[in-house]
Structure 1
Amino acid sequence: GNIIDKEANYIYIDYSAGVPAPKATTDRLAIEFNRQFTLGRVYRDGATLHIVNSGFNLSNHTRYNHERLIQVR
């Protein structure tokens, strides 16, 4: 979607057909966490964009647990 003026816009990636596509919405709850992820937020004030990088921090919990168990031995 388009970036709406005077609104907080959430920029996200959608994998609806297996192909990543950037999209925008003003409704954060419309982003499905199973196949979409947030890149950041944009507030547009006319021609000025205020960009905030945000999103998910995807940790590798399996690797962390493995390393922890190896160190305990």
Structure 2
Amino acid sequence: MKKSHYMTRALRAQDPRYSSILGKLGYERTDVQAGAAVPDITALRAEYHRVLGKRPFNGWDAETLAAKIAEAKG
């Protein structure tokens, strides 16, 4: 059984307050940013599928998906 410490639970939390506190401590999270709106990755994946006709790689972040969609449209 994996130990569940405070830090592991806090790193999994979706609360942006954890992101700002843990970011100051050196633990960065790319999926949650304090004070910033998180782009809807599901909508971007659906748009990528609609525009290019194939499913996107699940390892791509929102910025990469948006860049590839813009490249395909442009």
The normalised TM-score by structure 1 is: 0.29
- Which structure has the highest strand share of the two? 1
- Which structure has the highest helix share of the two? 2
Q: Which has the higher contact order (CA 8 A, sep 6+)?
A: 1
The normalised TM-score by structure 2 is: 0.29
